[in-house]
Amino acid sequence: MTYDKDIPGWLLAERPTGPDGCRLAGIKKKTGFLEKTINDIAEVLRESVFTEQLAGAGGMLQNIDPRVKLVTAAFLLLITAVVRHIPTLLGLYIFTLMLAYFSRVPLMFFVKRVWFFIPFFTGLVVLPSIFNFIRPGDPFINLINFGHPVNIGFLHFPAVIAITRQGLTGAGLIILRVGVSVSLAVLLTITSRWAELLKALRVFFIPRIFVMVLEMTYRYIFLLLTVITDMYTARKSRSFGAGTTKENRRFISAGIGNVFGKAYYLSEEIHDAMISRGYTGEAKVVSTFKIKAQDIVWIILIFVIGIFFLGGDLILGM
Amino acid sequence: MACNRAVSEPGDVIFELDNVSYNYLNEPPVLKGINLRICRGEKIAVLGANGSGKSTLQKILDGLIFPTGGVVRAFGCELTEDTLQDRDFSRDFRQRVGFIFQNSEAQLFSPSVWDEIAFGPLQLDLPKNEVVERVESIIDMLGLRSLKNRAPYKLSGGEKKKVAIASVLSINPEVLILDEPTNGLAPRTQMWLVEVLVKLHQAGKTIVTATHNLDIVQDIADRVIVLSEDHLITAEGRPEEILRSRELLLRVNLIGEHYHEHSHGAEQGHGHAHFHHHKH
């Protein structure tokens, strides 16, 4: 096999055509939607690596057995769901902030992660209920005074449109309840390794095979994300300019097909690898979790705190 | 032939392939008329260019796919979909034969290195303390202590290969089948791998390695099987004979015209052939 004869002349030419040296065109390429999306995916990837770092940070919650953590989190979620007063929920929220602090979770990161989406979703859902034309109540802030009731078709508005005290309390209660619940869930997930948390699900009698499927999903999502970012980087390194939206769309659809094919082939290989090591369709696991003294103390502590908040809430209601 | 599951003695035939062929659905055959015997304690290299059918042959040996023609026997028992459905035979066979895949991503499916190594022993229903002991001792043997709790996707290529080997060794198989084990590994890890294989062979394991890395053949094999690009066994012999046969290696497309064999035996004292690419 000889190489020199096979190389076409243009490939041997001194220098490919293009601008000389560092000549700038002064025209910037635009960042397309594709690049933004792919970058966001990469960001998610990095963030999950970051959270694994927090899981190994050695704070208070990180030292609790994941099973105990899961059960106590469920208990606190139950308390959050049944209490009915804003001060109690505020107290619970301050408690989650303290937990975050003692678990070496950066507070700004924690607060941002919880409160970034709640105003959009929960806030939007409860917004109408604060107005007196949706839910009558004692006016708190008067917005518009028509002087007389207004009827537009089937809509009936009172003479004064106001935000009600009951509406505000109800909305606050729901938003806070969601906030505390999400905080607890976020704390649980960022202070635990995913693998351990999934294993801990077994305490709720979730079938082993289901846990195993979840574990493998988690493990291979990372691999497929890497495949996707690699595919995009490879394309970017060979493309000049951002490409038209149409080209990008075509790249995405081809990419989806490509990744699907790869995932399918990989799944067959994984199955072979499992069979080869004696897998017969029944998931067998060994648990290396051990309940320590600090876990017992933690259970008692959370139980006492839960009863404290519940009792306080009952007293507020009297 | 009756199934004989007695412990095999050195020199016993453990794999027997009679006129084996294989083709994927509606595609031309990837293996044709393969006749092969593998004895206990042998170390065999399967050489062949990309696409010559090395991986398919190894998958047949591991009972992952079944020949579309011919017969495969392992440990005196015919390997078919049916015999591998048998609970006792399949457990016995899976324990005796370990397969290290070329793609470590497929081999490492567990959430952590520890779980990965424990997977095989757990499937064999070993008692918990024995599983833990095996995992811990393999971790020490291969120097994986610092990776113990890591997720497989966070490992480097070399680390992945080490964990893949650990995950199969924890089953303590008699036969180790390795598909292109040195692919993508740095020279140092390649050397490490060869040393591990030599040690395992000395411990009595049968080793079947598919490779196109000619540099390691003399270390990892005392018999070489060469698959041609038309999917037949075209040659079989001792590594020195096969490696010296330039015409053969050219014909099966393993080397190009500019490849040269150098024997550094005199200067380095290990008497190995090395292959280099030279331009004249």
DSSP sequence for A132-155 = TTTS---EEEEEEE-SS-EEETTE
Q: Please give the distance of CA A91 from its chain centroid, rounded to a whole number.
A: 24
Let me know if residue B32 belongs to a domain: yes
CB contact under 8 A, A266 and B105: yes
pLDDT under 70: residue ranges of chain A: 1-5, 15-21, 28-32, 45-51, 241-243
Predicted confidence at residue B268, as pLDDT, reads: 44
Using DSSP bridges, classify how beta strands B97-100 and B175-179 pair: parallel, antiparallel or unpaired. Answer: parallel
Q: What is the dihedral of CA B212, B213, B216, B220, to 10 degrees?
A: -30
Max distance between CA atoms of chain A, in angstroms, equals 96
Lowest mean pLDDT among A221-225, B14-18, B233-237, B262-266: B262-266
Can you name the residues that pair with B124 across neighbouring β-strands? Answer: none
Question: Comparing C-alpha atoms, which of A238, A118, A253, A105 is closest to residue A182?
Answer: A118
Q: Which of A222, A272, A278 is the closest to B123 by Cβ?
A: A278
**What is this model's ipTM?**
0.84
Tell which B residues from 225 to 254 touch A, by Cβ distance under 8 Å. Answer: none
CB contact under 8 A, B90 and A280: yes
Rounded Cα distance, B242 and A289, in Å? 54
Let me know if residue B2 belongs to a domain: no
Band (B45; pLDDT cuts 50, 70, 90): very high
Let me know if residue B5 belongs to a domain: no
Predicted confidence at residue A201, as pLDDT, reads: 86
Mutant choice from B84, B153, B257 vs A, greatest count of A C-beta within 10 A: B153
Let me know if residue B8 belongs to a domain: no
Q: How many C-beta atoms surround the C-beta of residue A31 within 10 A?
A: 10
Let me know if residue B170 belongs to a domain: yes
Q: Which of A194, A215, A277 is the closest to B94 by Cβ?
A: A277
Cβ contact B61:B208 at 8 Å: yes
Domain, as residue range, for B246: 13-277
3-state DSSP assignment of residue B121? helix
CATH of the domain at B147: 3.40.50.300
Band (B8; pLDDT cuts 50, 70, 90): low
Residue pairs spanning A and B at CB distance below 8 A:
89
Query: Is B52 part of the contact surface with chain A (CB cutoff 8 Å)?
Result: no
Between residues B222 and A249, the one the model is more confident about: B222
A126-to-A81, A156, A212 alpha-carbon distances in Å:
17, 20, 38
- Average the pLDDT over B211-225 and give the result: 93
Tracing tokens 């000889």 back to the chain, one arrives at A2
* CA-based torsion, B202, B205, B206, B208: positive or negative: negative
- Tell me the H-state helices in A201-292: 208-238, 245-276
CB contact under 8 A, A269 and B109: no
| CA-atom Rg of chain B in angstroms | 19
Let me know if residue B30 belongs to a domain: yes
CB contact under 8 A, A277 and B123: yes
Let me know if residue B266 belongs to a domain: yes
Amino acid symbol at A70:
L
Between residues B153 and A316, the one the model is more confident about: A316
**Contact list, B258 vs chain A (CB under 8 Å):** 1
pLDDT digits (tens, 9 = 90+) for B81-96: 999 988 889 999 999 9
Tokens linked to A127: 């917004």
Contacts of A87 (CB under 8 A, 6+ apart): A312, A316
**Contact list, A286 vs chain B (CB under 8 Å):** 118, 122, 128, 131-132
**Contact list, A208 vs chain B (CB under 8 Å):** none
Let me know if residue B7 belongs to a domain: no
3-state DSSP assignment of residue A280? coil
Predicted confidence at residue B178, as pLDDT, reads: 96
Helix axes B128-141, B157-169, angle to 10 degrees: 140
Give the number of domains in chain B. 1
From B131's Cα to the closest Cα of chain A, the distance in A is 9
Tell which B residues from 117 to 136 touch A, by Cβ distance under 8 Å. Answer: 118-120, 122-125, 128, 131-132
Band (B265; pLDDT cuts 50, 70, 90): very low
Question: Across chain B, what does the average pLDDT equal?
Answer: 87
pLDDT digits (tens, 9 = 90+) for A235-279: 878 877 666 778 878 888 888 899 899 999 999 999 999 999 998
